Amino acid sequence: MQLFSILPIILIFAPLALLLSFAPYVTRETISFGVTVSQYNYYTPVLRKLRRTFTTVSLIGNGLIILACLYVLRSANEESTAMITSVCTMIFIVYWSALHIVFHFKMKKIKETLTTVEAPQRVKIDTTFRQNKLTYSNYWFLVHIAIIVAIAIITILNYNALPNVIPMKYDLQGNVTSSVPKTYLSVLAINLVQLGIIALMMLVNWSIKTSKQQLAPSNPAQFAADHIRFRRKWSLFTIITGLLLTILFAFIQINMFVPNQVLLTAISLITSVGILLGAILLSLTGRQGGGKIRNHQEDRERSREQPVNDDDYWKLGFIYFNANDPSFTVEKRYGIGWTINFARPLSWVLVLLIIAIVVLSRVLSQ
C-alpha cells in the first residue's frame, strides 16, 4: 500500500466523517435535522436520543466505508487508486445524503408529538445589525492577486528557460503521466485557474456579508452580537483559505522550473488538511450563526417560543428554494456555513461557474 494513496483517506475523509457525524450538535438550537423546533424542544430526551443515534450510525457507516477503501487500496496501482478513491467519495456522499434524509423525515414525525406553546408567533430583530462591520474587506484579496500577477510575470520572463513539454500530472511515484507542449496559454493556465478561485472566494466573502439576517426568538441584542462574531470569523477563514490555495498553486507553477514532486505532494497534502482542520476547529468553537455549543441553561430557562417556521422552503431539510425571498445566500440548516437560494437565477450562474472551473482544471491537466 502506497503511503500517499492512503494519507488523503486518513487525513481528509476521517476528519470530514467526524464533522458530518457531529453536525446535529452544531446547528442552531431552533433547527433539528432541517426541521424548525423551539429551543426547549431541542433539548427534550427524544431529540437528544435522535442526535445520539444519528451520530452513532454515521460514525459506524463512515468508518466501514473508510476501512473498506483502505483495504481495497492495498493492492491498487496508479490507475485503480484514482478510480477507487472516486468511488469511495461517491459512496461517502450518497451514504451521508441518505442518512440525513431518513433522519429528516423521522424528525418531521417526531415534531407532531412535541408540545408547543399556544401563543402567536413572534420574532425579534436588531435593526442596527447591518450598521456593524460584518466581514473583512474584499480588498484583502489584493494580496492574493499580487502573488498571482508576480508569479505570472516571473513565468513570462523565464519562458525560454522552460522545457518544450510542460508536465501537467504526476503519479504517486513522481513519474509524469500527462504533459502538454509549451505555449503561453499552457504555462499561464494555472494563473487563470487561480483568478477563478479568488473570484469565487470574493463572492463567498461578499455572500457572508450580505446573506439574509436571521430573526431571533428572544434577546435580539445578544443574538446579533453572536451572529456578527460568527460572520467575521468565517470571513477571515475564507480569506486565509484563498491565500493558502494561491500559495499552493504558485508552488505548482514554480515546479515547472524546479521540479520537486515530493515537496509539491507534501505541500498539497498539508494545505488540504490544514484547510479542513481549520474548518473543523471553527465549527467546534461555536454553533451555526453564533452561540456556544454547550448550553448550560436549566430547562425552565429555555425558550418555548416557536421560531419562524419556513420549513416549506427547505426541500429535504437542506435545499433552500424560495422565489419570494430576494436573498441570494442564507445560512445552512444542517451543519455550519451558507447555502444559496436555488430560486434565484444568480445561484445557477454560480453553480455553472464552479463546474466551469473544475472542468477547466481537468482539461488543462490532460
Least confident window among 79-88, 137-146, 183-192: 79-88
Q: What is the pLDDT confidence band of residue 139, given thresholds at 50, 70 and 90?
A: very high
For residue 98, pLDDT beyond 80: yes
| Selected residue with higher pLDDT from 195 and 77 | 195
Given this model, what pLDDT does residue 174 score?
56
Task: Give the three cell numbers for residue 149.
Answer: 500577477
The answer, as to whether pTM is greater than 0.85, is: no
Q: What is the pLDDT confidence band of residue 239, given thresholds at 50, 70 and 90?
A: very high
Nearest to 242 by CA among 263, 271, 264, 267: 271
Least confident window among 55-59, 114-118, 187-191, 343-347: 114-118
Which residue type, as a one-letter code, is found at position 312?
D
Task: Give the three cell numbers for residue 42.
Answer: 431541542
Given this model, what pLDDT does residue 49 score?
95
**Buried/exposed 115-124: b ≥16 CB within 10 Å, e otherwise:** eeeeeeeeee
Report d(CA 202, CA 198) in Å as an integer.
6
Task: Give the three cell numbers for residue 231.
Answer: 460572520
Quick: pLDDT tens for 288-324: 887 777 877 777 778 777 777 888 999 998 899 999 8
Nearest to 283 by CA among 324, 230, 217: 230
- Please enumerate, as own/partner, the contacts of 154-161 that have beta carbons within 8 Å and a separation of 24 or more: 155/187, 155/188, 155/191, 155/253, 155/256, 156/184, 156/188, 158/257, 159/184, 159/187, 161/257
Quick: pLDDT tens for 11-41: 778 888 888 899 999 988 889 999 999 888 8
Q: Where are the strands (E) in the chain, listed by range?
A: 31-32, 35-36, 165-170, 176-181, 314-315, 319-320, 329-331, 338-340
Q: What is the pLDDT confidence band of residue 246, given thresholds at 50, 70 and 90?
A: very high
Residues 54-81 have a mean pLDDT of 86
Least confident window among 189-193, 207-211, 305-309, 344-348: 305-309
Given this model, what pLDDT does residue 286 score?
83
For residue 158, pLDDT beyond 70: yes
Given this model, what pLDDT does residue 185 score?
83
**What mean pLDDT value characterizes the chain?**
84
Q: What is the pLDDT confidence band of residue 110, given thresholds at 50, 70 and 90?
A: very high
| Selected residue with higher pLDDT from 185 and 201 | 201
For residue 256, pLDDT beyond 90: no
